[in-house]
Structure 1
């Protein structure tokens, strides 16, 4: 990776740390848009030896990255509470 890429954010973004909730892993996967952050999270779970994934993306945008991350996790928990394993169907 070149010096400029390192300085200006080139390359892959680091994987967010998962939050474990009721056997699911929630990854806040924020989307930067015009200086704001779109609510987005990835829900994963291993089912019968296979890793399943579901994306939660909303129209909501926030000025603060921390706020967007917190609300993304809360929204993913709500989806898990409402749908459980059906989110992978």
Structure 2
């Protein structure tokens, strides 16, 4: 039924539902981890970036995870934790 609602314009604006809503950054082992969760289907989706300057060039890896949260604060904290985990597990290999 939701497909039909969106097809005929009764489902609201999906673009507004998925727009970024907040950001927070931390430094972790020389990387900058930025949380960028966004609203998706009434909850907040885990997302962010891991960045580092290498040889004068800023490299960036974007991530989105399936985890969703009821509050923006929870989503930001979880996104930062996921970014730290990516750095700990992959380090600079994440940019390859």
Local SS of the residue matching 2:51? strand
Residues 1:51 and 2:58 aligned together = yes
Question: What TM-score do you get using the length of structure 2 for normalisation?
Answer: 0.74
Structure 2: runs of 5+ lacking an equivalent: 1-15
CA RMSD in angstroms comes to 2.0
Q: Is the 8 A contact 2:33 2:83 kept in 1?
A: yes
Residues 1:82 and 2:89 aligned together = yes
Structure number, greater radius of gyration:
2
Residues 1:20 and 2:27 aligned together = yes
Residues 1:65 and 2:81 aligned together = no
The 4+ residue runs of structure 1 with deviation greater than 2 A are 13-17
Structure 1: runs of 5+ lacking an equivalent: 1-8
Question: What TM-score do you get using the length of structure 1 for normalisation?
Answer: 0.80
Please give the alpha-carbon distance, in whole angstroms, between the structure 2 residues aligned to 1:30 and 1:18.
Answer: 12
Count matched residues: 79
